[in-house]
Structure 1
Amino acid sequence: MFGVRGRTAHLAWYRTDEAAAEVAFLHGFSDSAQCWEPLIRAMPGIRALAIDARGHGESGLPEEPIRYAAHRDDAALVLSSQPRDGGMVVVGHSMGAMSAAYLAASRPDQVRAVVLEDPPTGAPSAGQQDEQWSVPRWLADLRALDLPSRIARGRSEDPAWPDDELEPWAMSKAQLNPHLFDLPFQEAAPLTDLLAAITCPVLLIHGDTERGSLISTEYAVRCARAAAGEFRAVHIAGTGHSVRRDNRPRYIAELSRFLDRYR
């Protein structure tokens, strides 16, 4: 699917073809850029760029604390290496959505519009101190399995996911650099604070909190009130944290409508 592969500093990135990308994709924690391939393949005509976050996929891991400001600067570095007049639409999931929000808030020259798929809400104390973290149990359990077993686990736990989602999801877990957890990390700033600094159009897509979505309908209303620019929240019922995997047709419909207007 990705016809062009490259590196900028420590970062691996992938593009659909030689043409300048119009949409940049930032993945979630423990995923990789390859996890966007099934969605991009289902949306022919999109000229896409996807980036492996530091410590994920084929990207390197600088010896410094893990901060969203660093993820923002990583994305800005790659986008600067292949600029597009007026910036790109940036689509992010989870960790990648928060990184996209940081980028849109500070680099309006690079982001013409932003799509946030179930980002974390952030923490009021962000920026005050770095903390230590450890490998989540669910991730440690997955990494202990071979690839076929990880795929089988994914199919068992998320039977509604399209089959083409499972292999890149399973492969990304083994690619994650375990040294990531030796580095201190810093929580994100509150999403509402970031939205107050974002002037470009924002599409927030979320699912049901009882199914694992990080964004509730009530919090989405708070986001709408905080947003400085054009803002729309879409709740896709019956989905959890990975909205696009739980209901790809509806996700594509919402994303396509947004891209048709802003890319």
Structure 2
Amino acid sequence: MYMEIEQEIRSFLMSRRARITPEQAGLPYAGGNRRVSGLRREEVAMLSGVSVEYYTRLERGKLSGASDSVLEAIARVLQLSDDEYAHLRDLARNVTSTGRVRMTRTRKSNPINGSVQQVLDSMSVPAIVQNERLDMLAANRMGCALYSDMIASSPRPVPNFARYAFLDPRSESFYIDTDASHDLIVSSLRAAAGHDPADRELTGLIGTLCACSQDFAQRWAKHNVRRHSRGRQLINHLGVGRLDLEYNDFALLLHRGLHRHLHRRAGFRQL
């Protein structure tokens, strides 16, 4: 099962178009009643410098072959963030002219080797390695201690942050700001789905979460995209209590789709 990529493109562009008013796009106020809350297709086409017919075709999912200049113009009109623009480019790259998902080379399920684990173990802060599906593939001792509840409660050999957050009731007491944590997870999975729509495990995970969690399904339908390279997280650890942590995310060289996640107490600066 693969992502229905034309539907993904259509829903993403329509959701971004609906949030931009004519005034925000720099169009003069025309008055009267509008049947749409945001921009019309005709207005997006005009502001992007393409024909209405061509933009309509793009919004229907026919992004294959769209030039960088056209994608850039659409991103400017729809006021896409950097992460949203990257998502749009990913979708254009991964859709074929026949509307199918462009297949990519199969990757190893867990390419963590001894050298990666040694690097993690040498760190003096909680450190983990996760993939784009938010599977926790490796961790040092402090990382395991930080997420000990998720590891212990995982019904699968590889713990998954999304499954824990939306399908395990214990996560509600672990994440202090549950709403922000859930938004972070969903928007990260949305970016991952655009980056690799041929990932069957990812598509299956998203399907399971949509079917089993109404909260996830509602957030997923918003089509929000964000890649979280750094931020702040409030958690309530069973053994330590409340922790205010800063995290940084680094891509692992030579391992496409894997990221090293480092945590430290907010306000702490290591010398």
Q: Structure 2 length as normaliser, TM-score?
A: 0.22
Q: Structure 1 length as normaliser, TM-score?
A: 0.23
